[in-house]
């Protein structure tokens, strides 16, 4: 590439954006600190242990800004596009925003590269099906329900232009152009339901929320210059690979071999932490097996992540193990979740007979007698 290399540009942008390695969404945004885009803090996905970029693992609607940048970078590299002609601010968007962009908007933002990006996006949307946007919206709705203070930034300023819109108010999605220009592969982005994980509930809640049919429109309004690292972030820098991605996998973040066990969470300032403690504990009842079960019993919201092998027997299979793990990680606000860790937690269920072993079959598990809600006719289905 001639004069500048987008990878390095994007890398620097990523570096600035992701210096804070562990954002705690519980902590109310402070005007004194750089603002983290909501979707970034929610959906941050580090490259997996296998160096598979997040955008390859997840539907575009789930992409973080980093994923979007990696995806753009990928196409820049493939087409030898001159990155100097790109506006960095155009690249800085999460998947939700990206999916709302029309063909015209993409071409306008990325020039000749926009055409390629548009078709790539169409392919990815088609690949992952149409229901993912709904999950994203519902996830955000859940978050808003649980942490309404996100909307109430001290000083009366709103970080996010965040509005709840009726699905039929199509203008709510209008960002760059006429509605008819937008891709139609997202199932018209009709929000359906949530899985109710956050509240620890299962189906009834989700059905309720499906009736509500609301979606969030979120427009982050933050300063480009606000990339200072979190004061509580440990000194350990976040290593990057040559391609500009982060390597958060085992050992690579640590200067030396660490001991066993779960590492201590990022410390908060005593004041902030106290506020969190006073506010509310994250509700219990969000168990992994329930999360798995709810993915399985909501096939319309399951973009090929898992499938029943024998529903009667409770036998199921992971189709996209890493993607499920990432989804679980999103739910637990843990961007470093992997299938390896998830599967370890799954194996603990054997002892409690929530799951049963299925010998000789990879990625296949079976619900045990101490699980419930997965059988036909259960859980209000």
Partner DNA sequence: TCGGTCTTTCCTGGTT
Partner DNA sequence: TAACCAGGAAAGACCG
Binding footprint of DNA on the chain (CB under 7 A): 49-50, 250-251, 254, 257-265, 281-284, 286-289, 321-322, 328, 332, 334, 336-337, 339-345, 347-348, 350, 352, 357, 359-364
Provide the minimum distance between the beta carbon of 27 and DNA in the complex, in angstroms, as a whole number: 12
Distance separating alpha carbons of residues 45 and 336, to the nearest angstrom? 7
Provide the minimum distance between the beta carbon of 48 and DNA in the complex, in angstroms, as a whole number: 9
- Could you tell me how far CA 358 lies from the centroid of its own chain? 30
If the CB atoms of residues 184 and 352 are measured against DNA, the closer one turns out to be: 352
Provide the minimum distance between the beta carbon of 347 and DNA in the complex, in angstroms, as a whole number: 5
Is 366 within 8 Å of 313 (Cβ atoms)?
A: yes
Provide the minimum distance between the beta carbon of 358 and DNA in the complex, in angstroms, as a whole number: 7
If the CB atoms of residues 64 and 68 are measured against DNA, the closer one turns out to be: 64
If the CB atoms of residues 13 and 342 are measured against DNA, the closer one turns out to be: 342
If the CB atoms of residues 67 and 336 are measured against DNA, the closer one turns out to be: 336
Torsion angle of the four alpha carbons 245, 249, 255, 258, in this order, in degrees rounded to the nearest 10: 170
Provide the minimum distance between the beta carbon of 31 and DNA in the complex, in angstroms, as a whole number: 25
Distance separating alpha carbons of residues 179 and 173, to the nearest angstrom? 8
3-state secondary structure of 150: helix
If the CB atoms of residues 184 and 344 are measured against DNA, the closer one turns out to be: 344
Provide the minimum distance between the beta carbon of 24 and DNA in the complex, in angstroms, as a whole number: 9
Torsion angle of the four alpha carbons 49, 53, 59, 60, in this order, in degrees rounded to the nearest 10: 150
The two structure tokens encoding residue 370: 């101490």
Distance separating alpha carbons of residues 26 and 124, to the nearest angstrom? 32
The upper half-sphere exposure of residue 162, i.e. CA atoms within 13 Å in the direction of its Cβ, equals: 20
If the CB atoms of residues 222 and 350 are measured against DNA, the closer one turns out to be: 350
Distance separating alpha carbons of residues 140 and 202, to the nearest angstrom? 17
């Amino acid at each position: 590439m001639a004069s500048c290399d987008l990878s390095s540009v994007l890398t620097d942008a990523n570096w600035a954006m992701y210096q804070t390695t562990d954002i705690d969404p519980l902590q109310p945004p402070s005007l004194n600190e750089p603002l983290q885009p909501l979707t970034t803090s929610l959906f941050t996905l580090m490259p997996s242990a296998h160096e598979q970029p997040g955008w390859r693992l997840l539907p575009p609607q789930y992409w973080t800004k980093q994923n979007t940048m990696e995806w753009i970078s990928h196409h820049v590299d493939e087409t030898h596009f001159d990155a100097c002609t790109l506006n960095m601010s155009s690249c800085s968007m999460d998947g939700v925003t990206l999916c709302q962009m029309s063909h015209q908007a993409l071409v306008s933002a990325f020039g000749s590269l926009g055409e390629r990006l548009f078709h790539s996006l169409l392919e990815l949307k088609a690949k992952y099906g149409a229901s993912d946007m709904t999950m994203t919206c519902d996830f955000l709705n859940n978050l808003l329900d649980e942490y309404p203070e996100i909307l109430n930034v001290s000083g009366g300023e709103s970080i996010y232009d965040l509005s709840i819109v009726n699905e039929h108010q199509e203008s709510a999605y209008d960002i760059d152009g006429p509605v008819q220009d937008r891709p139609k592969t997202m199932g018209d982005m009709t929000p359906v339901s949530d899985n109710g994980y956050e509240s620890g509930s299962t189906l009834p809640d989700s059905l309720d929320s499906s009736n509500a049919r609301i979606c969030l429109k979120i427009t982050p309004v933050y300063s480009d210059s606000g990339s200072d690292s979190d004061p509580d972030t440990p000194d350990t820098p976040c290593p990057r690979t040559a391609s500009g991605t982060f390597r958060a996998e085992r050992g690579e973040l640590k200067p030396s071999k660490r001991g066993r066990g779960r590492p201590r969470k990022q410390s908060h300032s005593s004041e902030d932490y106290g506020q969190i403690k006073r506010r509310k504990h994250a509700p219990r009842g969000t168990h992994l097996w329930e999360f798995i079960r709810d993915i399985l019993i909501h096939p319309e919201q399951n973009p090929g992540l898992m499938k029943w092998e024998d529903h009667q027997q409770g036998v199921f299979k992971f189709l996209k193990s890493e993607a499920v793990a990432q989804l679980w990680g999103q739910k637990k606000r843990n961007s470093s979740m992997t299938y390896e860790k998830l599967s370890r937690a799954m194996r603990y269920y054997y002892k409690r007979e929530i799951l049963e072993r299925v010998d000789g079959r990879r990625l296949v598990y079976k619900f045990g007698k101490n699980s419930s809600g997965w059988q036909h006719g259960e859980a209000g289905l």
